[in-house]
């Protein structure tokens, strides 16, 4: 029920793609970090008849990450999504949204969103500030969904996704520590030339990193990392190289009877305007092969070094 303290923000967006395509993008929360600038990671914490409980991590400033839990209830074949924050974090007492997607009768569709919130304490200035923030965030998110839905086929060619695994016999903690201590990478990892780490909390890291690839090319990137339970580190380059529009991934430790599997996941989106940097006349296929080769070489090198670090006390 609305109260005098409840604020409502509404927006809509016309999309040149069918409602089914739009709904697929809207409901693929795990894929949002690849498409939407602030999104870093999303995980389903529980599934139930009343919807999925999803935790999100979004970058809100150069050194700040916001995390929240929301209950997402999907209906009408994915064309309606009701969202309730559980619980609402300060300064809110309640936050909820409703998303609907409808065909426009001409091959396209229309997204409508209603966002409402109630502050824990009445504050007109804070309410006005949050309304403006919500308007900006909704507009940016709608633009991301529209672009992804309208360019599905193109993105299918531009996105390179793969995972490299490596078996490790040594202690799990040592391998994880090797990957977690990013500030020591310039001493430990040959292709890392320099790294400046900012760590606002034990589970959130931001860093600017200078790297030199095997082909001699040098890059400066900025990344955010979320260090999760169960020895998983997810990352997103907030400032990717000029050859990519987005680069996300994770480092993951999976227990095995004989030790554990250490794996590196990459999802990279090629920037068409930057393909010339890989050589005149570079095609999408050549760019895909290049990124797969370079990213895999770097991460496999890191995995082998982490393996050696973890197994050194075994005398192997």
Same domain assignment for residues 166 and 143? no
Are 220 and 179 members of one domain? Answer: yes
Number of domains in the chain: 2
3-state helix, strand, coil in the chain (%, to 5): 35, 45, 20
Q: Are residues 18 and 74 in the same domain?
A: yes
Q: What is the pLDDT of residue 5?
A: 82
Number of neighbouring beta carbons within 10 Å of residue 17: 20
The pLDDT assigned to 315 comes to 65
Q: Do 50 and 134 sit in the same domain of this protein?
A: yes
Q: Tell whether 229 is covered by a domain.
A: yes
> Can you tell me the distance from the alpha carbon of 160 to that of 171, in angstroms, rounded to the nearest whole number?
32
Same domain, residue pair 87 and 185: no
**Cα 221–202–29 angle (5° rounding)?**
65
Positive or negative: CA dihedral 155, 157, 159, 163: positive
Is 247 among the domain residues?
Answer: yes
pLDDT at residue number 15: 99
From CA 67, how far away is CA 236, in angstroms rounded?
15
The CATH number for 268's domain is 3.30.530.20
pLDDT score of 4: 52
Same domain? For 81 and 203 the reply is no
Question: Which residue range forms the structural domain that includes residue 308?
Answer: 159-314
Do the Cβ atoms of 50 and 71 come closer than 8 Å?
Answer: yes
Answer yes or no: do 191 and 266 share one domain.
Answer: yes
Burial call 26-43: b when 16+ CB within 10 Å, e when fewer: bbebebbbbbbebbbbbe
User: Cα–Cα distance between 111 and 131 in angstroms, integer?
Assistant: 19
Are the beta carbons of 104 and 14 closer than 8 angstroms?
A: yes
Q: H/E element holding 310?
A: helix 284-311
Are 244 and 127 in a shared domain? no
Euclidean distance between CA atoms 79 and 189, whole angstroms:
47
The two tokens of residue 143 are 């633009």
Residue ending a domain, among 115, 150, 185, is 150
Q: Are the CB atoms for 71 and 51 separated by under 8 Å?
A: yes
**Phi, psi of 63, deg, nearest 5:** -135, 30
pTM, two decimals, is: 0.94
Together in a domain, 170 and 128: no
What backbone phi and psi angles, to 5 degrees, belong to 87?
A: -85, 170
- Chain segment 246-268, per-residue pLDDT in tens: 999 999 999 998 999 999 999 99
Q: Do 107 and 218 belong to one domain?
A: no
- Between CA 55 and CA 71 the distance in angstroms is 9
Could you say which of 150, 170, 193 is where a domain stops? 150
* 8-state DSSP, 171: -
The residues facing 195 across adjacent strands are 209
Regions in the chain scoring below 50 on pLDDT: 1-2
Q: What is the C-alpha end-to-end distance of the chain, expressed in Å?
A: 65
Supply the pLDDT for residue 74.
97
Whether residue 1 is contained in a domain is answered as: no
The answer to whether residues 134 and 221 belong to one domain is no
């Amino acid at each position: 029920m609305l109260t005098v303290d409840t604020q409502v923000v509404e927006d809509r967006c016309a999309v040149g793609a069918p409602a089914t395509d739009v709904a697929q993008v809207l409901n693929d929360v795990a894929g949002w970090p690849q498409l939407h600038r602030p999104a870093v990671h999303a995980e389903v914490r529980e599934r139930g008849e009343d919807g999925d409980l999803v935790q999100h991590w979004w970058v809100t400033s150069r050194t700040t990450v916001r995390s929240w839990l929301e209950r997402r209830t999907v209906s009408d074949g994915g064309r309606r999504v009701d969202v309730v924050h559980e619980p609402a974090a300060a300064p809110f007492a309640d936050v909820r949204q409703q998303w609907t997607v409808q065909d426009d009768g001409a091959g396209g569709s229309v997204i409508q969103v209603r966002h409402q919130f109630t502050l824990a304490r009445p504050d007109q200035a804070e309410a006005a500030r949050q309304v403006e923030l919500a308007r900006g965030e909704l507009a940016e998110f709608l633009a991301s969904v529209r672009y992804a839905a309208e360019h599905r086929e193109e993105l299918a060619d531009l996105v390179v996704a793969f995972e490299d695994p490596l078996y490790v016999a040594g202690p799990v903690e040592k391998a994880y520590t090797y990957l977690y201590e990013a500030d020591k990478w310039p001493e430990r990892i040959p292709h890392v030339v320099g790294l400046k780490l900012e760590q606002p909390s034990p589970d959130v890291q931001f860093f600017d990193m200078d790297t030199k690839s095997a082909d001699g090319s040098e890059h400066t990137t900025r990344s955010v990392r979320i260090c999760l339970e169960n020895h998983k580190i997810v990352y997103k380059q907030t400032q990717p190289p000029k050859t990519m529009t987005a680069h996300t991934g994770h480092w993951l430790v999976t227990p095995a009877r004989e030790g554990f599997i250490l794996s590196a996941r990459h999802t990279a989106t090629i920037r068409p305007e930057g393909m010339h940097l890989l050589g005149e006349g570079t095609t999408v296929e050549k760019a895909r092969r290049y990124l797969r080769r370079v990213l895999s070489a770097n991460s496999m090198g890191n995995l082998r070094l982490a393996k050696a670090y973890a197994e050194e006390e075994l005398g192997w």
